[in-house]
Structure 1
Amino acid sequence: MNNDDELLTRYVNGKLEGNQRQRVLDALVNDPDLAREAELLQALKQGLQHYENAGEPPIELGLARLKRDIQQEQNVSDTPSPRKRRDLFWKGLAVAACLVVVVQTSLVVFTGSDDTQWELLSGGGASDAAPQLQVAFAPDTTIAQLEALLQPHAAHIIEGPGALGIYSLRLPEDSDAISLRDQLAESALIEEVYLP
């Protein structure tokens, strides 16, 4: 048989008679591949007959199966995975952090506070009446030498060194900053000294 699909289909459906039927039977005996194809067609025919006997056409069953599978996928996607839950947690945390930053910024910008409320942690500030000096020490000056130089004048380092190596000194309130500046300028430990 020359793979005549139409003859094979008609044979499985019982529509062949006489010589044509005998020709297909001989071909099935001699060709195992053709025999397997006939078995497959016979199984498909029986499956279709089963659904027809049940009163449901196979197309509607396929549609019902498709709808069921889609519904199952939707149910699975409705419950977030642990990774999705973790991502949602971090996204929420990031949003909360952004809100905190916005609130803090608005409080600082829109409260209308004046600068007189602010003070340096070192205690010095614009409202401090104690005189101050700005000093640049020699690079090889030791801490012991600094203490020996500043202690007689009751001066304290309150800030520094800055980017240029300048320190801020606070003097006692009753001291004369100009005369102290002149005295410190004569020391070999000090490169520069000036009033701010």
Structure 2
Amino acid sequence: MDREDELLFYVQNRLSERDREAFEERLATDQILAAELAVLQAARNNFTEKKSGASELSVGWADLEGRMDAAQPTAANDNHPIRLGLLQVAAVSAIAVMAWHFVAVPQFAKTPDAFETVSQESDAHVLQVIFSPDATLAETAAFLTQFDGSISGGPSAVGLYRLRFADPEQLESALEAAKANGALFEFVAAE
């Protein structure tokens, strides 16, 4: 038997006469054992004093049980069939998908007036140019303003820009001026 069990059995008066005498002999010489016994006995005495109020606790417990029984019973786990929940989720999902397709998608599908796809033929007249590395923004803007043109695409991987003009006369005039202006353009070609 270990020391803790021996202490507990001594306090509970469960040791045999011979073990009790041996324990009391060791108790007389071992101060630590005596201190442990004193703590255990004090705890037991304190518990027995509090135990007298146990009847008050049982009355409190009975009162609590009575109030719990009188309360409206509610199910702790309301077991609705899972199918109902799944049907609700499926219905909400279907409504959301239909709303998306009939309300949102048509809003996105509208093409703006100025939008053209790459494969669509352009009704304007276009020059393809490569600007020289020394060309400034002011020179480029002045050239485009002079011929009422705009940049409609670029730069490509090789530095090619597309310049759009409203009519063929402006395109011809811009083509001649661009070929003559080697400081602004490295390459010029009509589409």
Give the TM-score normalised by the residue count of structure 2. Answer: 0.46
Q: Higher RCO, 1 or 2 (CA under 8 Å, sep at least 6)?
A: 2
